Amino acid sequence: MREQRITWSRDSFVSRMKLIRCPVCGKMFDPSTSDAMPFCSRRCRMIDLGRWLDEQYAIPLPEKDDQDDEPEMPSLPEEE
């Protein structure tokens, strides 16, 4: 069986490290070429903004217990 060697040049490794994935369309792009970071284009940036405005995205809030919804009754001072 013949051993196969994979060689990486520094340039090919560095160029691969520069690419990131657009969170909207999934396209790999070089961030230094985009004026709409972290998106690949202004179009993807506007799509993301529209999703926030349409409330398709939301920031989760901590869940409340049911008993937290009821106001506490103030305690009366004890009579002597």
In a domain, residue 48? The reply is: yes
pLDDT digits (tens, 9 = 90+) for 7-25: 555 555 445 568 999 999 9
- For the cut 80, the answer to whether the pLDDT of residue 50 exceeds it is yes
Cis peptide before 38 (omega within 30 of 0): yes
How many domains would you assign to the chain?
Answer: 1
In a domain, residue 43? The reply is: yes
In a domain, residue 68? The reply is: no
pTM: predicted TM-score of the whole model, two decimal places = 0.55
In a domain, residue 72? The reply is: no
State the residue range of the domain holding 45.
Answer: 34-58
Query: Residue 57: CB partners within 8 Å, gap ≥ 6?
Result: 51
Tokens representing residue 30 in the block: 């070089």
What is the distance in angstroms between the CA of the first residue and the CA of the last residue of the chain?
97
In a domain, residue 38? The reply is: yes
In a domain, residue 44? The reply is: yes
In a domain, residue 79? The reply is: no
